[in-house]
A and B are shown apart, each in its own frame.
Chain A
């Protein structure tokens, strides 16, 4: 980045931001900005998630790497019930019977596993997010390369046609008389210029 000169301690944030934007424009080599890429990736992700199967905000949450959708369970939540009076009563009874349930099974062993699963989910979400972003970038690169290839193909075809025409002209020139050849000779440089 070009150095930014500060004169007499006077700075103008609007100017600096403009300078930054110009620098980014100069540096930009791809068709899309980072933001546009993220938007495209989001659209791509949404198309994978069928709205009837998953709640509407899921794609957004996953895209934002929000952890709300993830498993969140504690020992206390196993005993909890609705916050009504009846629910509170149920909660107390469950708590009272806790030693009994613990006698029959070891619930505590579940929580480290849940924690592992939560971390794994989060890692998968990160991975999925990055993969989709990468996939979108690659697809865009692919599209761009494809269009460049098509362009090159067209130019190649054109050049080939031109080459053939020129070759024919050379052959024709050799076979024609000198007087006719002079006429052709005048027109051929114009064709070359094209």
Chain B
């Protein structure tokens, strides 16, 4: 055993929690009902790190990310045995006002105060959460902030920079170019990136290479069994289908997917192939017999759908890491992703498990290639499974977090000065 009992490495693999190391997770929304990649990532990481240290979550009472309306009760709660403190959102988001400010900030010359106003309008505006973080700074060793672009991360990191770790979940959209976020990427003790491309994007923008960091991502867990046939029977889908999993939204590239798929059907005269959409929709879905929307499904149905699908299609332009893509690969399914998203393209190339497209012609050819070559699909799927096993198992993810915290602990004990603002 190591002589420094505070180091969490001592507890690696332990079921109990003897380490006194206390870590606070700070996230915009938290709960089993919450949909969203960053929120899911935060919950999973918190639950897994709870094996090694004392974990607590600081969040708001919001459930939906459009209005941030208070939904949960204020105060303490337990979510999968993790203590959670929820704070009120002082005002709901006015979409119209936010849209106007965002349009101005993203498209016109502006000042820093305009960006701060944008941040406040974006929300979730919860000064009580920031106040509590400041009040509890002495009780926690580290504060891990998820999603750089929201109010809680910006003000939270400014409140406790000497104890903060950022998991940016940054996408290549216009928000990343706002100048107010420079301190968010230069002041934290460390940054946990989700992908190589996310790190490159942030390094290029903020020149923060000297901030300790690691590319970690997320662990993928599959259900013990999946049943493709029962899914087909349950939803009456006898034929072949390609699957889209996730929120059906403009930002996820769904309108382009609909256009491309309908054109594909028209060009190839495919009469059997269906596009199956699983997830809640906030845009209109074209009425077509070969496009089916099943709504939000429980996890088991989702994995059964993956087992039955020919491939997963991921049309999103903005991703820091796609969890569903990794889940599809873990299930041995190939993917067809939007190549204009650097992260998806990079993941497809590194894993050798998915094709990508940057135009309709590429979409058509790649899809045809995958549908007509079962051996290619099988080989891609096999690569995907291997890629996930080697990089995205929870053992590996936990170790990466623990190693990073260990490094920070060693620095702290050695009295190494923290990176400057």
Q: How many residues of A contact B (CB 8 A)?
A: 31
Instruction: Give the nearest-CB partner of B255 in chain A.
Output: A65
* Contact of B107 with A57 in the complex, beta carbons under 8 Å: yes
Which of these, A6, A65, A83, contacts B375 with CB under 8 Å? A6
Structural contact, A13 and B352, CB atoms closer than 8 A: yes
| Number of A-B residue pairs having CB atoms within 8 Å of each other in the complex | 79
In the complex formed, the residue of B with least CB distance to A35 is B359
Q: Which of A13, A14, A24 contacts B362 (CB 8 A)?
A: A24
B92 close to A (CB within 8 Å): yes
Interface pair B94/A83, CB less than 8 Å apart: yes
* Chain B residues whose CB sits within 8 angstroms of the CB of A16 once the complex forms: 355, 369, 376
Question: When A and B form their complex, which 4 residue pairs have the shortest distance between CB atoms, in order from nearest?
Answer: A11-B379, A34-B360, A6-B375, A35-B359
Contact partners of A17 in chain B: CB under 8 A: 339, 355-356, 362, 366
Report A154 CB to chain B, min CB distance, Å: 33
Residues from 95 to 111 in B contacting A, C-beta threshold 8 Å: 99, 103, 107
Distance in angstroms from A118 CB to nearest chain B CB is 9
Binding site for A on B (CB under 8 A): 91-92, 94, 99, 103, 107, 250, 255, 259, 283-284, 339, 348-349, 351-356, 358-362, 365-366, 368-369, 373, 375-376, 378-380, 382-383
A 1-38 to B, binary, CB cutoff 8 A, 1 in contact else 0: 10110100111111011001101100100000111000
Name B259's closest neighbour in chain A (CB-CB).
Answer: A65
Contact among A4, A13, A33, A67 for B373, CB-based, below 8 A: A4
CB neighbours of A53 from chain B (8 A): none
Contacts of B369 in A (CB 8 A): 1, 4, 16, 20
Separation in Å of the A77 CB from the closest CB of chain B?
A: 11
Contacts of A131-171 to chain B: CB distance below 8 A: none
A50-88, CB < 8 A from B: 55-57, 64-68, 82-83
Partner of B383, one of A11, A23, A66: A11
What secondary structure prevails in chain A residues at the interface with B? Answer: loop
The yes or no answer to A122 lying at the interface (CB within 8 A) is yes
The interface residues of chain A lying within 8 Å CB-to-CB of B380 are 11, 13
Q: How far is the CA of A55 from the CA of B283 in the complex (A)?
A: 22
* Bound form: Cα–Cα A82–B383 in Å: 54
Known: A21-B362, A24-B362. A1 touches B356 (CB 8 A): no
Residue numbers in B under 8 Å from A66 (CB-CB): 250, 255
Selected contact of A64 from candidates B255, B354, B360, B382, CB within 8 Å: B255
Contacts of A82 in B (CB 8 A): 94
Q: List 18 A-B contacts (CB under 8 A).
A: A4-B373, A6-B373, A6-B375, A9-B375, A11-B380, A13-B380, A17-B362, A27-B361, A33-B361, A34-B360, A55-B103, A56-B103, A56-B107, A57-B107, A64-B250, A67-B284, A83-B92, A83-B94
| A24 CA / B366 CA spacing, docked (Å) | 11
Contacts of B375 in A (CB 8 A): 6, 9
